Structure formats: structure tokens, C-alpha cells
């Protein structure tokens, strides 16, 4: 018997549409993942399930699975929170995943201590909106407090931040963060647009000028920092002038790499109701321009490292090269006659290739 179930964000916001798909036996929402086995057993027994999706906006507690999501043998992704309170005009997340909810620090620290036992060197701290971590606590515990505790755990060599909201980065935050020797000098700041008018329509909580000041503060603390970002092109009512402003701003900020997304309508969001939706052809054209700019900036960054010595955590072997990342997320590969996976080595960079990878030799 083949059983087909559907769960996740789409189910949570599309219950009526899901019910019309005859191939799906039953569906569960984003807050019912722990009940999958129970639901399957009940369906196999009764041939039906009478479950009603809960309203995620009303959910106030973090659902803790206590599990680790591995990306490679050398790195583990640790989820510390769920949900979001920002209600950006283009985003369905608050309705699909609920309001911001934080995982208890003891649970996170316990998981990371278990990670150490598996000889994993790097943890990536992630969530739907990690900048809001601690917002729902009553004791004043914040994200920076969590980082300080993780930094004390023996065995973890690197703490990498997942995507973060720019306004998390205050002078106070940076003054405490710079004291933590395991924090990776790589920040993925979700900008979305380099035009303040567009940002306002998106319901983002900052201007491009504020963003630029945040970047300046980061670079004053970390002179080797790498900044990456997300950009949406073709947001409703985005004019050619607004796009040009974004293009110039991205070049000025000088990101290492940019993830470019063409705006996609999400039913139930404010943006879906906006007038002057941008055509698919224009979105495609603007996307191509920013992708070319991203490649140009990445190539420029790569060449700055030629001749320098970098510390690399090697993650994989392709049969010829060992490949890994620096703390600030530069890809480096080199040949070596011993197994160096999951080891941190100093590498002298000799050049780069057309795949945006630095080529080096291990400096013994």
C-alpha cells in the first residue's frame, strides 16, 4: 500500500486547495510533525483522519525536536527558533510558521555538546528569524547571550551565523561579539532591495542608509569580514529608476556574493494585492544583471586573496582536490597526499579558477 501525505508550510496556508487533491491521503500542518507516526498508524487502521489544521498565528511555544540537521561531516546546522513577527509584504511565513518562538538555551547547548562528541568542528546557528531569538523570553536572555555560551563549549572550532536581519547588528551587539574567538567572520544580511522606497513597500524595517551604517560598523570590527545577501528583483511597482538605485547600492556596499530571487507572488500576502506587478520579462532581465554583478564582485574578492595564507576547514574530497571553507566562507581547494577531511589547515593561496574557488597548497 502506497500512502501519500503532505505536510509543511504549503499545507498550513492552503488547506482548501490540499483537500481538492485526490492523490493525497491526508495532510498535517507545520506544528504537527511530531505526530506523523501517530497519524500514519491511525490512517492505516481507520482509513481516515479527522484533523483540523491549527492557527499558527496563535502558537506561542517552540516545538523542540532536539535533533541535528547535518549538512556535511564537518558541519551541523542547529535550529534555535521558529516563526517570524515581521510580516514583510511578500512573505507568507508568519501565517505558515507562526509568530517568533525561541528554543530554550539548555536544549541548544546540550545538542551542541552532543555534536562535539561526533567530532564536528562547526555549527551553523539558524532559524526562521534568528534576530528575534529571546524576544519571547521574560528573563532578558538574548541571542548574544547564547553565542557567548556556545563559544565556551570545548571542541567547537567555529560558530557560523545563519541569515540575519540587519538591525540585529548594533554597536553593543558587535562589542560583545568581537570578543568571541569562534565566531566566523561571515555575515549573511538579508537586504532584499537597495532602494528605500522599495524597502518601505516591502515593509522592511530599515532604510538603505541605515543598512550602510550597519555595514560600516561591521567592517570596523572585522577587517576580513565577508558579507553576503539576498535580493528580490521585480517587487511590485519597482520602477527602472528604483532598480538602478538598487544596482548602484549593491556595487557600493561591495558584497562578496548575492543570492538573487525574482519576486514570486504568494497568495494571502500584501504584495499579491499591489498594483503594477512587474512583468516576467523585466524580472528576468533585472535578475540577469544582478547575477552578473554578483559574479563580478565575487571574482574581485577572490583575486584579493591570491598570495595570502588562510585557515581552511576541509570538508570533502573529489578524488583530486580537498575542498573546504575559510572562517569567512571563501572556498579553497588543494591537493594533498594525506586525508585532511574535517581538519583545519593553513593554506597558501596560489590562484583561483573560473568556479570561484581559490587554489592553494598546505603550508606545513
Alpha-carbon radius of gyration of the chain: 22
Kindly give the interhelix angle for 240-253 and 280-304, rounded to the nearest 10 degrees.
10
- For the chain, residues with pLDDT lower than 70 are 1-37, 39-72, 364
In what helix (H) or strand (E) does residue 226 lie, and over which residues does it extend?
A: strand 226-233
- Separation CA 75–CA 115 (nearest Å): 9
- Separation CA 196–CA 194 (nearest Å): 7
In what helix (H) or strand (E) does residue 76 lie, and over which residues does it extend?
A: strand 75-82
Angle at 108 between CA 8 and CA 27, to 5 degrees: 15
Angle at 273 between CA 268 and CA 275, to 5 degrees: 160
Q: Does residue 127 sit in helix, strand or coil? A: strand
DSSP assignments along 310-345, one per residue: EEEEEEEE-SS-EEEEETT--EEEE--SS--TT-EE
pLDDT at 354: 81
User: Which sign, positive or negative, has the C-alpha torsion 63, 67, 71, 76?
Assistant: positive
pTM of the model: 0.84
| Eight-class DSSP state of 122 | E
Are 153 and 180 spatial neighbours (Cβ–Cβ below 8 Å)? no
pLDDT at 74: 85
Tell me the backbone φ, ψ of residue 346, rounded to 5 degrees: -80, 135
- Separation CA 33–CA 19 (nearest Å): 19
Q: Residue 316 half-sphere exposure, CB side, CA atoms within 13 Å?
A: 6
pLDDT at 4: 45
Alpha helices in the chain (DSSP H): 9-13, 15-19, 36-46, 93-97, 105-117, 143-151, 171-177, 196-202, 208-221, 240-253, 280-304
362: nearest Cα among 225, 224, 339, 159: 339
Q: Does residue 30 sit in helix, strand or coil? A: coil
pLDDT at 19: 56
pLDDT at 66: 61
Could you tell me the domains of the chain? 5-54 (no CATH), 58-304 (3.80.30.20), 309-362 (2.40.50)
pLDDT at 56: 47
Q: Residue 285: which residues within 8 A CB-CB, separation 6 or more?
A: none
- Separation CA 126–CA 128 (nearest Å): 7
Amino acid at each position: 500500500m502506497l500512502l501519500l501525505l503532505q505536510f509543511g508550510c504549503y499545507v498550513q496556508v492552503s488547506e482548501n486547495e490540499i483537500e481538492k487533491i485526490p492523490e493525497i491521503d491526508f495532510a498535517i500542518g507545520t506544528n504537527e510533525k511530531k505526530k506523523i507516526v501517530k497519524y500514519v498508524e491511525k490512517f492505516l487502521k481507520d482509513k481516515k483522519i479527522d484533523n483540523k489544521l491549527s492557527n499558527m498565528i496563535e502558537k506561542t511555544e517552540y516545538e523542540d525536536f532536539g535533533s541535528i540537521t547535518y549538512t556535511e561531516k564537518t558541519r551541523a546546522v542547529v535550529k534555535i527558533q521558529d516563526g517570524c513577527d515581521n510580516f514583510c509584504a511578500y512573505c507568507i511565513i508568519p501565517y505558515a510558521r507562526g509568530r517568533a518562538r525561541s528554543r530554550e538555551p539548555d536544549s541548544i547547548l546540550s545538542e551542541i555538546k552532543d555534536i562535539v562528541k561526533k567530532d564536528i568542528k562547526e555549527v551553523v546557528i539558524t532559524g526562521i528569524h534568528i534576530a528575534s531569538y529571546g524576544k519571547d523570553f521574560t528573563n532578558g536572555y538574548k541571542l548574544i547571550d547564547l553565542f557567548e555560551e556556545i563559544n565556551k563549549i570545548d571542541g567547537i572550532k567555529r560558530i557560523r551565523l545563519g541569515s540575519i536581519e540587519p538591525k540585529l547588528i548594533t554597536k553593543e551587539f558587535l562589542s560583545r561579539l568581537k570578543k568571541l574567538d569562534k565566531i566566523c567572520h561571515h555575515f549573511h544580511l538579508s537586504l532584499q532591495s537597495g532602494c528605500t522606497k522599495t524597502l518601505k513597500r516591502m515593509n522592511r524595517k530599515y532604510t538603505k542608509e541605515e543598512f550602510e551604517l550597519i555595514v560600516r560598523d561591521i567592517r570596523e570590527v572585522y577587517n576580513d569580514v565577508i558579507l553576503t545577501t539576498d535580493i528580490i528583483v521585480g517587487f511590485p511597482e519597482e520602477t527602472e529608476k528604483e532598480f538602478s538605485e538598487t544596482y548602484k547600492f549593491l556595487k557600493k556596499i561591495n558584497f562578496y556574493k548575492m543570492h538573487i530571487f525574482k519576486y514570486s507572488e504568494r497568495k494571502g500576502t500584501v504584495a499579491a494585492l499591489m498594483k503594477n506587478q512587474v512583468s516576467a520579462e523585466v524580472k528576468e532581465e533585472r535578475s540577469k544583471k544582478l547575477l552578473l554583478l554578483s559574479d563580478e564582485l565575487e571574482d574581485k574578492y577572490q583575486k584579493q586573496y591570491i598570495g595570502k595564507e588562510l585557515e581552511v576547514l576541509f570538508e570533502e574530497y573529489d578524488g583530486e582536490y580537498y575542498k573546504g571553507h575559510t572562517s569567512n566562507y571563501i572556498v579553497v581547494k588543494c591537493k594533498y597526499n594525506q586525508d585532511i577531511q574535517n581538519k583545519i589547515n593553513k593554506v597558501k593561496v596560489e590562484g583561483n579558477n573560473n568556479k570561484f574557488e581559490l587554489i592553494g597548497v598546505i603550508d606545513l
